A and B are shown apart, each in its own frame.
Chain A
Amino acid sequence: MTTMLELDDVHVAYGRIQALRGISLRVEVGQIVALIGANGAGKTTTMKAISGILGLQSGSMRFEGEDLTAIRADLRVGKGISQVPEGRGIFPGMTVAENIDMGAYLRSDRRSPEFAADLERVYELFPRLAERRSQAGGTLSGGEQQMLAMGRALMARPRLLLLDEPSMGLAPQFIAQIFRVIEEINAQGTTVLLVEQNATQALGLAHEAYVMETGEVTRSGTGAELLADPTIQDAYLGVS
């Protein structure tokens, strides 16, 4: 197996608040890797460090063998890393179509058949978006915004997709749909790093998983191993 993303002893702080205290993790090509943990554990901070919104205090990040810290945040999407941020990050004043187009901001093949195919695939995955093409993003429902954020991220043709709580605030049937889509995207060859509060579903989907607590990785293993672990069940899965 080849490693797509590797974090080694990553430290990140917000001023004097130490959010990450030496995170190490690996994402292999083609996998779904889940990151679970309580509120405030540092999951979003980890995602932001990978996408470059936050800088590192120390530690290293390598993406496809390349030193990621040397690449400016706005160029990382061009390298193949696309993020669906926590809270979705929809541009409220842009239409659905314009939001989707923002995902392809750095692409220069707008007139190519591949581009048209990608666009079609997004509307196929989320038919609701096709109906709402010219509606302002800010007026979509929460679930529709989540679909829009995922569709937008896919337009960048990512090799690594970072999903930060894609099921947040969604009704159960929406959650099931989002997880189906994640599996489908992964099956089509995109590697996924998934942060989730729905730990049971996330672990059920994940090849590998990491558990975070107060800025540190405390457990890791395959999704199935963690699902079966009684301490994990107690702490994160709501079964006892």
Chain B
Amino acid sequence: MPAAGRAPDAPGERVISTVLDPAVLTPLVVHTEAWINFDVGLLIDRFWANTINGLAYGSIYALVALGYTLVYGVLQLINFAHSEIFVIGVFGVYLTFLGLGFEPGALPNLPLAAIILDLLLAGVVAMVVAGLAAVGLERVAYRPLRRRNAPRLAFLITAIGASFAIQQVIRIVRGSNPEGTIRLLPPSPAFTVFGAPVTNLQIVIILASIAMFIVADQFVNRSRLGRGIRAVAQDPATATLMGVNRERVIMITFLVGGVLAGAAALFYLMTIPQGAVYNGGFLLGIKAFTAAVLGGIGNLRGALLGGLILGVAENYGQSLFGGDWRDVVAFVLLVLVLMFRPTGILGESLARSRA
């Protein structure tokens, strides 16, 4: 915020004056929104639209949050480079679009079935690429530290370093500017909920994300390998006594997290087609991590819940307080929840709960 004084008779106007320069002592009146609103009317007007849009955004947060939470459960490590795994997924989607012959800026003129097929293909590529990248990251960055029994702090610093390193590699390869906008499927209202339009994109993203969550949840809770993941999270030494190969479990955990981030990347680029940029994971990563902590880090169901709550709350906050407050709302929410429930909403971690 620039230093601003508000004319008392003109709410909604911001007065910017540069005190040091006598030439511009005449106040410059800029017509703009108040720096903070409290617009209950807008909140109520846009309630359903915000809810639906928030759920769609929140699904993307949730899918990325699962990656943070899974790795945390098994290694008690906050994998800061997970946001860059997501970005790798975004570029996987974008480059697949380019490879399929789509041009930035132009709307494709293809039958719907062909477009859906192309989107699916891009999604699969992103999931594979992000999954492999996550496994590679684990091999290169974290496994050598584990071998040497390095202290916790070394892992954390390595995670941050890996995050920067991947970002810079992407920047060197693809440049600093955002890639062009490729939109395969423009959003169009599919139906309305209480008068609020729900677009085809929103409905696909919400349903597909929940389906992926259910698959991941069932995998962790029902499958043999999933049980191995939970065993390592709850008691690594005893897990070894049972015959669980910890290194393999760690690899699978990174793989699953990466694959989910790849799926999130497809949904992200469908929603924000101009979003392919080397540092595009920063804010989304923080939000997804916030979602994981909000729901209770280490807890799969917490990641889903945290993601959805965060997505929706952000939208409500944006209507209530004004656009600049969107991101602030997310973090204030986090602080509030942690003040009253330090272990997050669902609390227990993968280490203690069944999820």
Interface residues of A (CB under 8 A from B): 51-53, 72-75, 77-78, 82-83, 85, 89-95, 98, 101-103, 105-106, 136, 138, 152, 156
Establish whether residues A93 and B237, one from each chain, have CB atoms under 8 Å apart when the complex forms. no
**Known contacts A74-B243, A85-B241, then 5 further A-B pairs from the complex at CB < 8 Å, ordered by chain A residue:** A53-B237, A91-B234, A94-B231, A103-B242, A106-B242
Given A51-B241, A91-B238, A98-B227: A74 in contact with B246 (beta carbons within 8 A): yes
Asked if B266 is an interface residue, CB under 8 A from chain A, the answer is no
Which range holds the interface residue count of chain B?
Answer: 20 to 34
Our pick among B224, B230, B240 for the contact of A94 (Cβ within 8 Å) is: B230
Establish whether residues B240 and A93, one from each chain, have CB atoms under 8 Å apart when the complex forms. no
Establish whether residues A101 and B227, one from each chain, have CB atoms under 8 Å apart when the complex forms. yes
Establish whether residues B352 and A93, one from each chain, have CB atoms under 8 Å apart when the complex forms. yes
Establish whether residues A89 and B227, one from each chain, have CB atoms under 8 Å apart when the complex forms. no
**Chain A residues with Cβ under 8 A from B240's Cβ?**
52-53, 73-74
Establish whether residues A83 and B241, one from each chain, have CB atoms under 8 Å apart when the complex forms. yes
Most A CB within 10 A of own CB, among B231, B239, B241: B241
Using a CB-CB cutoff of 8 Å, which residues 307-355 of chain B contact chain A?
348, 350-354
Which residue of B is nearest A52, CB measured?
Answer: B240
Establish whether residues A89 and B245, one from each chain, have CB atoms under 8 Å apart when the complex forms. no
Interface residues of B (CB under 8 A from A): 224, 227-228, 230-231, 234-235, 237-246, 348, 350-354
**Chain A residues with Cβ under 8 A from B350's Cβ?**
93
Establish whether residues B237 and A89, one from each chain, have CB atoms under 8 Å apart when the complex forms. yes
Establish whether residues B237 and A94, one from each chain, have CB atoms under 8 Å apart when the complex forms. no
**Chain B residues with Cβ under 8 A from A103's Cβ?**
242
CB A53 to nearest CB in B, in angstroms, measures 5
CB B81 to nearest CB in A, in angstroms, measures 27
Establish whether residues B234 and A94, one from each chain, have CB atoms under 8 Å apart when the complex forms. yes
Interface of B is mostly: helix
**Chain A residues with Cβ under 8 A from B246's Cβ?**
74
CB B76 to nearest CB in A, in angstroms, measures 15
Q: CA–CA, A102 to B231, complex, Å?
A: 8
Which residue of B is nearest A98, CB measured?
Answer: B227
Our pick among B224, B228, B238, B352 for the contact of A89 (Cβ within 8 Å) is: B238
Q: CA–CA, A78 to B350, complex, Å?
A: 27
Q: CA–CA, A98 to B237, complex, Å?
A: 17
Establish whether residues A105 and B238, one from each chain, have CB atoms under 8 Å apart when the complex forms. no
Most A CB within 10 A of own CB, among B235, B238, B352: B238
Most B CB within 10 A of own CB, among A52, A72, A75, A102: A102
Establish whether residues A53 and B241, one from each chain, have CB atoms under 8 Å apart when the complex forms. yes
Q: CA–CA, A77 to B348, complex, Å?
A: 30
A-B contact pairs, 14 of them (CB 8 A): A74-B244, A74-B246, A77-B241, A83-B241, A91-B231, A92-B351, A93-B348, A94-B231, A102-B227, A102-B231, A102-B239, A136-B354, A152-B242, A156-B243
Establish whether residues B231 and A85, one from each chain, have CB atoms under 8 Å apart when the complex forms. no
CB B250 to nearest CB in A, in angstroms, measures 13
Establish whether residues B237 and A105, one from each chain, have CB atoms under 8 Å apart when the complex forms. no
Our pick among A77, A90, A92 for the contact of B243 (Cβ within 8 Å) is: A77
Which residue of B is nearest A101, CB measured?
Answer: B227
Establish whether residues B238 and A85, one from each chain, have CB atoms under 8 Å apart when the complex forms. yes
**Chain A residues with Cβ under 8 A from B243's Cβ?**
74-75, 77-78, 105-106, 156
Q: CA–CA, A92 to B228, complex, Å?
A: 14
Establish whether residues A105 and B242, one from each chain, have CB atoms under 8 Å apart when the complex forms. yes
Q: CA–CA, A192 to B129, complex, Å?
A: 49
Which residue of B is nearest A53, CB measured?
Answer: B237
**Chain A residues with Cβ under 8 A from B234's Cβ?**
91-94
Which residue of B is nearest A72, CB measured?
Answer: B245
Q: CA–CA, A195 to B242, complex, Å?
A: 20
Which residue of A is nearest B246, CB measured?
Answer: A74
Establish whether residues A105 and B224, one from each chain, have CB atoms under 8 Å apart when the complex forms. yes
Which residue of B is nearest A51, CB measured?
Answer: B241
Leading 5 A-B pairs by shortest Cβ distance: A89-B238, A106-B243, A77-B243, A91-B234, A105-B243
CB B73 to nearest CB in A, in angstroms, measures 10
CB B74 to nearest CB in A, in angstroms, measures 13
Q: CA–CA, A124 to B352, complex, Å?
A: 28
Q: CA–CA, A85 to B244, complex, Å?
A: 15
CB B284 to nearest CB in A, in angstroms, measures 30
CB B316 to nearest CB in A, in angstroms, measures 34
Q: CA–CA, A91 to B231, complex, Å?
A: 7
Most A CB within 10 A of own CB, among B231, B242, B350: B242
Q: CA–CA, A102 to B229, complex, Å?
A: 11
Q: CA–CA, A101 to B243, complex, Å?
A: 12
**Chain B residues with Cβ under 8 A from A102's Cβ?**
227, 231, 239, 242
Most A CB within 10 A of own CB, among B234, B240, B243, B348: B243
CB B249 to nearest CB in A, in angstroms, measures 10
Given A53-B237, A94-B354: A77 in contact with B230 (beta carbons within 8 A): no
**Chain A residues with Cβ under 8 A from B237's Cβ?**
53, 85, 89
Q: CA–CA, A95 to B353, complex, Å?
A: 10
CB B227 to nearest CB in A, in angstroms, measures 7
**Chain A residues with Cβ under 8 A from B231's Cβ?**
91, 94, 102, 105
Q: CA–CA, A94 to B224, complex, Å?
A: 13
Establish whether residues B227 and A92, one from each chain, have CB atoms under 8 Å apart when the complex forms. no
**Chain A residues with Cβ under 8 A from B241's Cβ?**
51, 53, 73, 77, 82-83, 85, 89
